Amino acid sequence: MAPALYPAAVSFDRYGPDVLSGAPRARGRRPATATVPADPGLVVEDVETGWVGAVIRVETSGGMQVVVLEDRRGRTRTFPLGPGFWVDGSPVVLTAPSRTTRRGPDVTASGSIAVAGARARVARASRIWVEGRHDAELVERIWGDDLRVEGVVVELLDGVDNLAAVLRDFAPGPTRRAGVLVDHLVPGTKESRIVAQALRLPGADHVLVLGHPYVDVWQAVKPGRLGLARWPDIPRGTDIKAGTLAALGWPHADQADIASGWKRILGRVRDYRDLEPALLGRMEELIDFVTAIPE
């Protein structure tokens, strides 16, 4: 099987675009108001003030239920729970959080059916590598339960420049597959050249390298989770993380600020629906690749 460098076209992608999302509203028809639970992390807009923020909590104050929202600069405001909000451009009535009973089987953050009482499997020989710690933490947030059930260990490359050395040491083979997720893997980039060279090494038939188009994995989190229409454009030559935090008005002076900023971003990620399909599909392919061999 020839190694893959870029994500291949597939006939079915469960994380593909919603074909109904762009449907125009009927002229003269007022959008229906939906009832939505004020679950933590939900991004809403107060119609009267225009305040946009993520739900932090619902509490009782002055004998009434209120919802506390945090905007992208970390400021909080409190509003009465009920009507008067928008979610994704549609009017909603916010109700108490929906942490009550579930219908149907439990699912993991990746959308897979959860295996009740499952214990972590003994680690496979195959591995998945990601570029850095933030990538690994995001993968753990969404696919951690699935990977433990499958016995797949995720390791750090500490930068794509180390890819060839890591693959030499790992020595992939028929029972030792290597899956690699690379940031900003698009034609003509430094990353694409490094990957092409690494895939000339012995054992490359047992290696699958896939990538997403984002300069940093932060951008694979849907910007709406932070109340943004889009992630800020950072000039070339500016550190992507520090530049992003600066554009958001968050502290960005040192590594501690970057770690704190990432913690805030990661805290807004609830499940697979909060990530871009370009990352979701690639991780699912890598997991399938490293687990599709007999033990």
Domains, in order of start, for the chain: 34-95 (2.30.30), 127-221+269-291 (3.40.50)
Cα(87)–Cα(237) distance, integer angstroms: 36
Residues 157/165, Cβ–Cβ less than 8 Å: no
**Which runs of E-coded beta strand occur in 137-272?**
153-156, 178-182, 207-211
SS3 33: coil
pTM for this prediction = 0.66
- Give phi and psi for 290, each to the nearest 5: -80, -15
What token pair was written down for 127?
Answer: 């591995």
**pLDDT class of 50 with cuts at 50, 70, 90:** confident
Instruction: Give the pLDDT band of residue 29 (cuts 50, 70, 90).
Output: low
Do 133 and 157 contact (CB within 8 A), yes or no? no
When pLDDT is averaged across residues 75-81 and rounded to a whole number, the result is: 88
Summarised one tens digit per residue, pLDDT across range 101-152 is: 344 456 778 777 666 666 667 788 999 999 999 999 999 999 998 899 889 9
pLDDT above 90 for 166:
yes
Average pLDDT, the chain: 83
pLDDT at position 58: 87
- Quick one: average pLDDT of 200-218? 94
Would you call 130 helix, strand, or coil by DSSP? strand
